[in-house]
């Protein structure tokens, strides 16, 4: 009898310390990107595109390791001097990013899980049409991020992707994970 009571207590403590979480999550969603103006006189506008994230949830620590695949785009209206006159050019900046991310999850296993993380990877960017066309710039990237996962299915986050000076930007993400 004592052994059965001890076993029940250990199982209850185990569930309290390590809540039931899925080992892997898949997340997909929309991201809205806004870049720096780069120079005074420029204006920017963001575009909505998508991302996919494959996440491994460590069972004994509140840390997630993820692989983020992201496609982003933003428009920058650039001001330049042409024969002594001020002229404007609209440029569409497109990027594809592959980033390994580590997140610390506060309140793991709850219906409201704030998280903060840092990622590093590679960014492929091109100004004009497409991403992998002539003129593609490949550069390393660093991405601090913070957000919240709600009701174990929705994710809201913001990150700043630091990469080549023309492509660094803020991303706002709305995702669904399962």
Residue 105 within any structural domain of the chain: yes
| pTM of this structure | 0.81
Q: Is the pLDDT of residue 1 over 50?
A: yes
Residue 92 lies in a domain: yes
Question: Does pLDDT of 13 surpass 70?
Answer: no
Question: Does 18 score more than 60 pLDDT?
Answer: no
pLDDT at residue 127 is higher than 50: yes
Query: Each residue of 157-173: pLDDT tens digit?
Result: 999 999 988 888 999 99
- Assess contact for 167 and 128: CB atoms under 8 A: no
Torsion-angle region of residue 135: left (phi > 0), alpha (psi -120 to 50) or beta? left
What does the pLDDT average to over 90-109?
Answer: 92
Give the tens place of pLDDT for each residue, 29-86: 999 998 876 666 677 788 899 999 999 999 888 999 999 999 998 888 877 778 888 8
Domain extent at residue 173: 21-177
Hey, what are 162's tokens?
């630091």
Pair 93, 60: CB distance under 8 Å: no
Residue 3 lies in a domain: no
> What integer is the mean pLDDT of 102-119?
93
Residue 96 is predicted with a pLDDT of 95
Question: Is residue 16 very low, low, confident or very high in pLDDT (cuts 50, 70, 90)?
Answer: very low
Residue 116 has pLDDT above 90, yes or no: yes
Residue 161 lies in a domain: yes
Strands 63-82, 43-46: pairing kind: antiparallel
Within 58-136, strands assigned E span 63-82, 85-105, 112-127
Backbone angles phi, psi at 25, to 5 degrees: -130, 150
The larger pLDDT score, comparing residue 134 to residue 154, is at 154
109: domain CATH number?
2.40.160.20
Number of domains present in the structure of the chain: 1
Half-sphere exposure of 146 (CA within 13 A, CB side): 1
2 in any annotated domain:
no
Q: Label residue 9 by pLDDT band (50, 70, 90).
A: low
pLDDT beyond 70 at 17: no
For residue 11, is it within any domain?
A: no
More confident residue, 29 or 110: 29
């Amino acid at each position: 009898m004592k052994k059965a009571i001890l076993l029940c207590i250990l199982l209850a403590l185990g569930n309290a310390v390590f809540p039931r979480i899925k080992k892997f999550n898949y997340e997909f969603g929309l991201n809205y990107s806004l870049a720096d103006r780069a120079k005074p006189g420029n204006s920017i506008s963001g575009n909505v595109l998508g991302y996919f994230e494959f996440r491994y949830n460590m069972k004994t620590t509140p840390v997630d390791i993820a692989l983020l695949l992201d496609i982003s785009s933003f428009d920058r209206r650039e001001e330049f001097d042409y024969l002594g006159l001020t002229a404007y050019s609209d440029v569409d900046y497109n990027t594809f990013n592959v980033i390994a991310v580590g997140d610390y999850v506060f309140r793991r296993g709850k219906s409201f899980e704030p998280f903060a993380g840092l990622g590093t990877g590679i960014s492929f960017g091109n100004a004009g049409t497409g991403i992998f066309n002539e003129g593609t710039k490949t550069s390393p990237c660093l991405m601090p991020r913070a957000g919240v996962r709600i009701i174990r299915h929705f994710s809201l986050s913001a990150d700043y992707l630091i990469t080549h000076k023309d492509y660094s930007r803020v991303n706002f993400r709305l995702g669904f994970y399962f």
